[in-house]
Amino acid sequence: MLSVCEKYAVTHGLRYNTKKSEVLIFKAGSKTYSSVPPLYLGGTLLNRVTKFKYLVHWVTENGLDDTDIERERRALAVRCNMLARRFARCDKSVKVTLFQAYCQSFYTCNLWTKYSRKAYNALRVQYNDAFRVLMGLPRYCSASGMFTEARVDDFYAIIRKRTASLMRRVTGLINSLVSVISNKINSPIMSHWNMVHVISAGMSHRK
């Protein structure tokens, strides 16, 4: 496959950036590959890695999304601390607007389908604490209460909305490859997207 890519590049006057190219081999269950032949691109040996950052999103060899969730958690902490320092004297309406603009993106969260409950809960707690810090609320005040009063989406609502948005776009495409996913309601990713609405809605009501 790499040879085909190289031939195409030569034919069309293109050249791959080998400094940004690496090899990641996904694990199939418990099966591992201890011996992997060297792979070259443009005569350069490609480095083998266990995770790769593609368009900000972390992809790992075991298929877990914990690494990417942790990336989002750290980024959220940084943004919240910045807002709390710079806009401490603003009124609540301004803080709410800033929070919605800078702390609710959860970039690529609709692609998280395989993760540990620990990593997922850590991001949820970070989100709740971020709002408390910005608004100057007590540390252990009710999360559902503070979001309801401020008319701000809680963590689960954001995940549901992002997931529903991607589901709508995927099921509306006519691309033959994408339809493999969208036309199989029991596919792993479609099953997870449906479960997100059931589980997160239940968690929101219990809170």
* pLDDT for the residue 202: 52
Q: What is the mean pLDDT of residues 49-72?
A: 93
Interatomic CA distance for residues 113 and 188, integer angstroms: 8
Residue 29 has pLDDT above 80, yes or no: no
pTM score, whole prediction? 0.82
Q: In this predicted structure, which of 59-73, 115-129, 167-181, 185-199 has the lowest mean pLDDT?
A: 185-199
* pLDDT for the residue 79: 95
Per-residue pLDDT tens digits for 165-178: 888 888 887 888 77
Contact 50, 15 (CB under 8 A): no
Tell the residue number behind the tokens 């950052």, with chain if given.
Answer: 53
* pLDDT for the residue 91: 93
Domain borders along the chain are 2-49, 66-206
* pLDDT for the residue 107: 87
* pLDDT for the residue 127: 97
Residue 147 has pLDDT above 90, yes or no: yes
- The angle subtended at Cα 113 by Cα 110 and Cα 119, nearest 5°, is 95
Strands 51-54 and 40-41, by their bridges, are unpaired
Q: What is the mean pLDDT of residues 78-106?
A: 94
* pLDDT for the residue 186: 73
Interatomic CA distance for residues 182 and 198, integer angstroms: 19
Q: What is the torsion angle, in degrees rounded to the nearest 10, for the CA atoms of residue 139, residue 145, residue 146 and residue 151?
A: 160
Taking the alpha carbons of 91, 96, 101, 105 in that order, is the dihedral positive or negative? positive
pLDDT > 70 in the chain, percent: 94
- Across 18-55, b (16+ Cβ under 10 Å) vs e yields eeeeeeeeeeeeeeeeeeeeebebeeeebeeeeeeeee
Average pLDDT, the chain: 88
